[in-house]
Chain A
Amino acid sequence: MVDMPDIAIKTDKLTKIYKNFLSRKSIVAIKDLDIQVQTGEIFGLLGPNGSGKTTTLKAILGLVHPTKGSVRVFSKDPRSMDVKSKIGFLTEESYLYRFLNADETLHFVGRLAGIKKKKRVERIEEVLGQVGLLDARKRRSKEYSKGMARRLSLAQVLLKDPELIVLDEPTLGLDPVCSREIKELIIGLKKRGKTIVLSSHLLSEIENICDRLLILNNGVVIKAGNADELLEMKTKYQFVFDSATPEMNKAIKEAITNKGGKIVFEGHPKKNLDDFFLETIGKK
């Protein structure tokens, strides 16, 4: 079978079993996963802790060997140099060279990615600005707070401007302001035609940015599909309108019940806490 050129990732019966030689127990981390990610979309992996999200992402990147099944990234083996130059991976925790500062870290990664000096200097300036680390660029990463380390890790991913960006819990450990900035950044990347795969166990986090979702539990797919379709409640409908008066509400209610509809909720819509927080600290 020939892969279509617009398919970024394709897995076939991807299975990973971790074996423990001492206790002879094996853990099935993921089982028979068939995933297809189109180029240019944002693909979300959802699932509770230990459901196999990280394992799936690592398998996609060729960082773990599938026990069974196969992975193709841009129709190639994910371990090929060609694929490696097109991917960026944000690990779920930040793993940095502690003795390097932000500048040195990015120069290192830039050199690994084969970016020339002049371009590298420009790009570093740019990504440090994007993640808001310009002021801390000369500090060694072992002094960084968790959020700063996370941002430096993200800068590393952005630096080489990869085609496929894999983000494992991208907003883990970040405050709401920063989370929002990252979400906007992700949307911006999509606009530039990048393919993004991300994982999360915080549902609200993924909800409004993913094109497609896949829900994992115990290593198997529970549900997959278009984000809007999955979340939309087809038989229900809501109005939110301004300058509501009790009379108006009463009239609408009567009209609905007269037609045989059943009202399951009524009341004032609430802001979500994130928005409220952002408004309060004046970032919105």
Chain B
Amino acid sequence: MRKLLAIVILTFKEEMHSKLLFISLFIALVCVGSSKLFTSITPGAEKAFVTDISFTLIGWIVSICTIVVVSDIIYKEVTNRTIFILRTNPVNSLQIILGKYLGLAFSLGLALLIMELIYLGVFYYYFRTVMNDIGVLFLFTYIKVLIIVSIGVLGATIFSRITNVLFCVSILIMGNLTEQIHQIAERAQSDFSKQIIEWSMKVIPDFSKYRVLEYVAVEVDYPRNMIVDGVIYGSIYIFITLFLAVLAYRLNDRLMEP
């Protein structure tokens, strides 16, 4: 437990010293703050517009930020040779992977929380109210971040930085286009390609499960089973991905000779 905590604290401190989080907070502030400027077209739909545009932007900013931060979370230990410290102390691969994961989950969660508070502040300033069900939106945005972190950690145990960024970005994009990909699969000519697409859909995270923004923004009730579904799906996905990351780290341990 103490060892796990050591890695969590290390990762958290490291991210707090990176400028990236602060830059993305600043970008979020500018984007969210100026969102109302674009709403003059349709009076009455202003609240929906501000929420929609804010969360779409926050979603992308935080996703990109996550990918950049997580991309070399393991590999940099090798390039900086600090891996020697980890390798000559009694700490196992599970503690390292889980520690890094939790450290990132905390620091990115903190960044996301601040972005969401910026949104709340801006929204309240304009409209003197808050949206119904905004909590679900907060929760789902965070679960998506957690899923991306787990994928990034898995990638980081296998790939070097650039490759991992590409890996994560492609998964992120595909994960957001699951419905379109399903349509493609249905129209596919050969059974073989259909099979391949169906299989890859099982591996890629299904972010359509977290599409709650389209309900919250227009203040329509979202399907009630969405929360339970989303939480369970996210937990299982993250669990499996981290499990694979630990395995990959162990195997890679034999290959990586600092």
Contact = CB atoms under 8 A, between A and B. Distances in A.
B13 A109 contact: no
B159 to A, nearest CB: 17
A180 to B, nearest CB: 26
A63 B87 CA distance: 7
Contacts of B91: 84, 112
Interface in B223-258: 254, 257-258
Contacts, number: 74
Interface stretch (B46-54, B76-84, B211-219): B76-84
Contacts of B81: 91, 93, 95
Contact of A95 (B2, B10, B84, B254): B84
Interface in A145-162: 156, 160
Interface string A241-273: 000000000000000000000000000000000
Interface in A56-83: 58, 61-65, 81-82
A100 B84 contact: no
Contact of B82 (A62, A64, A85, A95): A95
Nearest to B16: A99
A64 B9 CA distance: 28
Contact of A87 (B9, B85, B88): B88
Interface string B106-144: 000000000000000000000000000000000000000
Contacts of B254: 65
Contacts of B80: 95, 97-98
Most chain B CB within 10 A, of A63, A104, A107, A116, is at A63
Given A97-B10, A99-B17, A108-B10, A81 B87 contact: no
A95 B84 CA distance: 8
Which secondary structure dominates where chain B touches chain A? helix
Contacts of B201: none
B89 A109 contact: yes
> How big is the A interface, by class?
20 to 34
A48 interface: no
A104 B257 contact: no
Given A91-B81, A95-B80, A97-B10, A84 B257 contact: no
A114 B14 contact: no
Interface in A132-152: none
A89 interface: yes
A63 B257 CA distance: 7
A209 interface: no
A112 B254 CA distance: 21
A84 B17 contact: no
A62 B87 CA distance: 9
A113 interface: yes
> How big is the B interface, by class?
20 to 34
B5 interface: yes
A116 B212 CA distance: 45
Nearest to B87: A63
A112 B86 contact: yes
Interface string B59-101: 0000000000000000000001110111111111000000000
B91 to A, nearest CB: 5
A108 B88 contact: no
A87 B9 CA distance: 23
Contacts of B182: none
Considering the complex of A and B, which 8 residue pairs feature the smallest CB-CB distances, nearest first?
Answer: A111-B6, A95-B81, A85-B90, A112-B89, A99-B17, A84-B90, A89-B88, A81-B90
Interface of B: 2-3, 5-7, 9-10, 13-14, 17, 80-82, 84-92, 254, 257-258
25 contacts: A58-B257, A63-B257, A65-B257, A84-B87, A84-B90, A88-B88, A91-B81, A91-B84, A95-B80, A97-B10, A97-B82, A97-B85, A98-B80, A99-B14, A100-B13, A108-B6, A111-B2, A111-B5, A112-B3, A112-B7, A112-B85, A112-B91, A114-B2, A114-B3, A116-B2
